[in-house]
Amino acid sequence: MRKFALSDEILLNIEKPARYIGNEVNMVVKDPAKVDIRTVFCFPDVYDIGMSHLGMQILCHQFNLRDDVYCERVFSPWPDLHQIMKEQQIPLFALETQDPIREFDWVLMTLQYEMCYPNILQILDLGQIPLKSCERGESDPIIIGGGPCTYNPEPIADFFDIIYIGEGETVYDELLNLYKRHKKSGHYSRSAFLREVSHIPGLYVPSLYEVKYHEDGTIASFSPLYEDVPRTIQRQVVEDLSALVYPDKPLVPFIKITQDRVVLEIQRGCIRGCRFCQAGMIYRPLRERDLEFLKEKAYAMLMSTGQEEISLSSLSSSDYSQLEELLNYLIDEFKTQHVNISLPSLRIDNFSLDVMSKVQDIKKSSLTFAPEAGSQRLRDVINKGLTEEDILHGAGLAFDGGWQKVKLYFMLGQPTETVEDMQEIAELAEKIAERYYEIPKEQRHGKCQITVSTSFFVPKPFTPFQWTPICTKEDFLERAHIVNESIRSQLNRKSIRYNWHEADVTLIEGILARGDRRLSDALIRVYEKGGIFAAWSDFFEDEMWQEAFRETGIDTDFYTVRKRGEEEVFPWDFIDIGVTKQFLWNEWQKAQRGEVTPNCRQRCSGCGAMKYKGGVCYENTH
């Protein structure tokens, strides 16, 4: 009989107890006594979000293929359980065995968004593990971080023993083997192990580096403490995605999660080169999975889970060269089983709409466009590669095909943005509404519904916009006000709805995105004040963050509104992602001139990603 870390009384008095009991369909069961290394994979957010993350499923599957390793899972307890665990001193536990995570060899965390940083500390605190790596002893687990936020790991560097830079399928086996050798040597030393870890490509050990600052607060130097520790960390990249392991039997939760479907990753990377997009730079070059591989995995996952929907995952699904063949296979193979096919990140054209008519529920849910900017001038600045003609043509095709709802996503506060650019957001929405009402009344499906959503722009590391300041809160809100007033002045305003993101959350995200090691004590202060689940608007409290910054002497303007020069050393400059800093600077200069850079299939722009010897960089060289 399975043991449970929580009593029946606790489980009956918290929200969604199924988040904490494990034992889902396809859960891996091993005898912990028969493995050499116990690891626990953590997503520092609630179960419902974390279980939707494909990377966790891939890495847990990869680890558990090894007979000498058992990889379990842990998520952030929701505030109701958090309080009980603190009051009753119940240690945070893994779902599979319900054992305390402090008893494991490794705790691995994936960091997908900056606002989850206080939850890192929640995991460590509830796990009864010292928050800072310098405070941990020989018996404490090794804490490892990975994911997109680690491309600037410095704000959270003090909390991790190792930070993995790059794609997780590459050097984890080497790291596991090294740890196993150290453990079996009989005289394991945490410091000696970490020193040797630093020699493995892609693995950054923050405690082995020293940062010095100029009087103005900028970085004077970032250097290793020892000669054998590398000065630069090389991002790890998989050249052949079809040679990788991929879960045939994904976990099936007992409760509804955010993405309650089978996920099939069809490619990594992107050819588009949008200048605001970090993912488009850090995952270069575009690499596709083989069609037969995808067919095999799609069939296996749907059969092993009983799921009724499969999502084709990528940054830009339309750029997958064999998309039509894959979709035809899925439609033909699963048409009798009523499997719905989800196609995020599609460019709306004749082919896409024809496909969606075949694969989506006949209800015709809303279509999504992401112009990101209202005017063509600003779309050229950000290198979006989407014209107004493309948008109106796509919307027209959708309306003619029976759709009536359109979602439009924009960003406010991007470099060079003018009042006219903001007003053109409303004008573009109006033109789309006008296109709908060109359809004869008897052929329409009710009123047209256009939802305009604006987020506020955050400059991210390893993008051409990493040099630009971020707007102030007042400036962001003024821009949203301009868009709102412009929409209210449109003829078809009753068909257009407008909502915008929280400006104060955006500014905190901006501080954390480009911050340095001096932020770690402020993050601890935020956690101590109760700042968990900051990514959730119900729990975010701006004043809590501002207090923490004041108490730890942080000048927030230094990280937000300050201009940066070409020669400034950034906290993340020690990482080599393949794309060169010179390329990013050149793109920043082109952005200010409004010049467009062709996508990778049109012409190579010499970004540096060709060093990885694969993907789109080599498509036309054979």
- 362 or 434, greater pLDDT: 434
Q: Are 42 and 107 in contact (CB under 8 A)?
A: yes
Q: In the structure, how many helices (H) and strands (E) does the chain have? A: 20, 19
- Model confidence at 305, pLDDT cuts 50, 70, 90, reads very high
- As a whole-number percent, the residues of the chain with pLDDT over 90 amount to 87
Angstrom distance (rounded) from CA 369 to CA 425: 12
Torsion angles phi and psi, residue 287, rounded to 5: -130, 130
- 339 or 150, greater pLDDT: 150
What pLDDT does residue 321 have?
Answer: 94
Residue labelled with tokens 């052929």: 443
Long-range contacts of 607-612 (CB under 8 A, 24+ apart): 607/281, 607/284, 607/578, 607/579, 607/580, 607/583, 608/578, 608/579, 608/580, 608/583, 609/284, 609/285, 609/578, 609/579, 610/285, 611/578, 612/237, 612/239, 612/285, 612/578
Neighbours of 89 (CB within 10 A): 8
Instruction: Please write the tens of the pLDDT for every residue from 356-406.
Output: 666 655 455 678 889 999 999 999 999 998 899 989 998 898 888 888 899
Is the bond preceding 285 in cis, omega lying within 30 degrees of 0?
A: yes
CA angle, 614 as apex, 610 and 617 as ends, to 5°? Answer: 50
Residues paired with 162 in a beta bridge = 144
pTM (predicted TM-score): 0.96
- 341 or 517, greater pLDDT: 517
DSSP letter string, 530-560: T---TTSTTT--HHHHHHHHHHTT--HHHHT
Angstrom distance (rounded) from CA 378 to CA 592: 10
* Six token digits for residue 406: 């359109």
Residue labelled with tokens 């004077």: 220
What pLDDT does residue 362 have?
Answer: 42
Average pLDDT over residues 481-505: 97
Name 108's Cβ contacts closer than 8 Å, sequence gap at least 6: 39, 40, 41, 42, 59, 144, 145, 146
**Residue 469 above 90 pLDDT?**
yes
- Range with the poorest average pLDDT among 85-94, 290-299, 362-371, 525-534: 362-371
Q: Which of 58, 79, 18 is nearest to 532 (CA)?
A: 79
Instruction: Please write the tens of the pLDDT for every residue from 205-261.
Output: 999 999 999 999 999 999 999 999 999 999 999 999 999 999 999 999 999 999 899
Can you list the positions of beta strands (E) in 26-123?
37-43, 69-75, 106-110
What pLDDT does residue 349 have?
Answer: 67
Average pLDDT over residues 62-91: 98
What pLDDT does residue 199 have?
Answer: 98
- As a whole-number percent, the residues of the chain with pLDDT over 70 amount to 97
What pLDDT does residue 275 have?
Answer: 98
- Range with the poorest average pLDDT among 333-342, 455-464, 566-575, 588-597: 333-342
Q: Are 102 and 91 in contact (CB under 8 A)?
A: yes
**Residue 621 above 70 pLDDT?**
no
* Six token digits for residue 458: 């955050």
What is the chain's length? 622
- 196 or 621, greater pLDDT: 196
- Range with the poorest average pLDDT among 74-83, 289-298, 322-331, 571-580: 322-331
What pLDDT does residue 214 have?
Answer: 98
- Model confidence at 343, pLDDT cuts 50, 70, 90, reads confident
What pLDDT does residue 397 have?
Answer: 86
